[in-house]
Amino acid sequence: MCALFTALIAVGAFIKVPVPVVPFSLQFLFTMLAGLIMGGRLGAVSVGLYAVLGLVGLPIFAEGGGIWYVMKPSFGYIIGFALGSLVTGLMVEKLEKLTKGAATLTEASEELNAGYKKASKSSDKLVKGATKLQSYNKDLTSGADKLTKSGKTLKKGANDLDKASKQVSAGTSKVGSATSQLTSGASTLSANSSTLRSGAGQPASGTQQLVSGAGTLSSGSKQVKDGISDLADGAKKLADGTKEFDEDGIQKIKEVVDDDLQDVLDRLDALCSDKNTYTSFSGKTDDMDGNVKFVIETAAIESDDDK
């Protein structure tokens, strides 16, 4: 390419327009084309090679050739051709870089525009999210207030529950104490029932009704004891704070048991008392040791002599 443009510059020296002093040729065109096409450095090399060939003696300059040509005023154009080709090439290179930079800047501008659009959309979403967050913040504040109130209510309920638990515990202790006393009374009643049965068997000629009554009383005492044991178990399960009901129920049961026991004891005293002795109708003499008692008094039995 350098040799081609060197030849074109040499040919351009002979294609000229006659003007006074310095003729105008096409060398200017070819030197500029060399810088535009090959770049500043190669364009300057083509012009330099053209100058060297002309100074050697080849008649390629506009007015001949040879070393003496440096003395001519037109030789400055040849030097200017080299500098012009160099400057033109450098300008083209800078222009290409500038064009690439402009293209890059355009692409960056497009990307920036696209980013701006995305940022605008993101900003809208951010505003909406901030609005929702503000709404959620209000809900959260309201929920926190409700939670605080619920916490106070829960604390109050816990205190009430603690007080009720203490009352239930105290009631349970009292129920357990009363149950122990009732159990002790039942044991005493059972022991007295055994004594009563033993005493009822002592009369040699006691009637069958007394024995049957003593057996019935013993069975009833066992039933009362079993009932009291069941009541004690039930009282332990009823430790839910129903203190007044348990105490009243147990007290009533105790009163009923005491009344029945007192009635039985009164009957035993009546049986053992000498005031209630009767004369035997079996022919007992006055000096005989013994007596006969009847729980139920009946009419006298008449003999055949009395009829």
Q: Is the pLDDT of residue 53 over 90?
A: yes
Query: Hey, is 61 helix, strand or coil?
Result: strand
Q: Are 88 and 43 spatial neighbours (Cβ–Cβ below 8 Å)?
A: yes
Query: For position 103, what pLDDT does the model report?
Result: 92
Q: What totals of helices (H) and strands (E) does the chain contain, helices first?
A: 6, 2
Identify which of 136-150, 260-274, 291-305 has the greatest average pLDDT.
136-150
Percent of the chain with pLDDT over 90: 19
Over residues 251-258, the mean pLDDT reads: 63
Query: Hey, is 64 helix, strand or coil?
Result: strand
d(CA 49, CA 264): 158
pLDDT digits (tens, 9 = 90+) for 66-123: 888 888 877 888 899 999 999 999 999 999 899 999 999 999 989 999 989 998 888 8
Q: Which residue has the higher pLDDT, 205 or 113?
A: 113
Q: Which residue has the higher pLDDT, 198 or 230?
A: 230
C-alpha Rg value of the chain to the nearest Å: 71
d(CA 289, CA 86): 172
Q: Which residue has the higher pLDDT, 247 or 156?
A: 156
Confidence of residue 250 (pLDDT cuts 50, 70, 90): low
d(CA 40, CA 37): 9
Q: Which residue has the higher pLDDT, 25 or 102?
A: 102
Percent of the chain with pLDDT over 70: 62
Confidence of residue 223 (pLDDT cuts 50, 70, 90): confident
Average per-residue pLDDT for the chain: 75
Nearest CA to 60 out of 19, 23, 26, 12 is that of 12
Query: For position 86, what pLDDT does the model report?
Result: 93
